[in-house]
Amino acid sequence: MSTWDDTTAALSAAVDGAFGVSVTYVAVTDRGAINTATGARAEVTATSTITVVRGRSTNTPQASGRPIEEVTYSIAADQIATPKVGDRITDTGRTLVVVRVEPSVDRLRNEVTCRRTSA
């Protein structure tokens, strides 16, 4: 690794140490066929506890009265290398679904936007 790579890796680790929170990450590894009787689709998942940096959070009011909550998390690539749309994050008792994944310029972190409809 170059000096730049070492420095950015150290900064990424420092951000997690200073601002990180622990969440449960549920990666959906496989989806089965739809059960025509129930309409449900079976999933195979892998669950892990990781450290993320919680970022911007917004609540968008809806006519139904249930606001849509969006939260952006910064996740180090060594925590979850390939986050995907459809995976889930449980943060302080709330489960949010990943709706967007954007890698950072240095590829050391991923910006993951999650959404839930509040009850």
Kindly report the CATH number assigned to the domain that includes residue 72.
Answer: 2.40.10
Q: What is the pLDDT of residues 87-116, one digit of tens each?
A: 999 999 999 999 999 998 778 899 999 999
pLDDT tens profile 56-95: 999 888 887 788 899 999 999 989 989 999 999 999 999 9
Helices (H) and strands (E) in the chain, counts: 1, 6
Structural domain harbouring 39: 3-117
Whether 1 has a pLDDT exceeding 70, the answer reads no
Q: List Cβ neighbours of 57 (8 Å cut-off, separation of 6 or more).
A: 69, 70, 71, 72
The residues with which 116 forms a beta bridge, in sequence order, are 69
Residue 21, pLDDT score: 94
Domain count, the chain: 1
Instruction: Please give the mean pLDDT across all residues of the chain.
Output: 88
- The answer to whether the pTM exceeds 0.85 is no
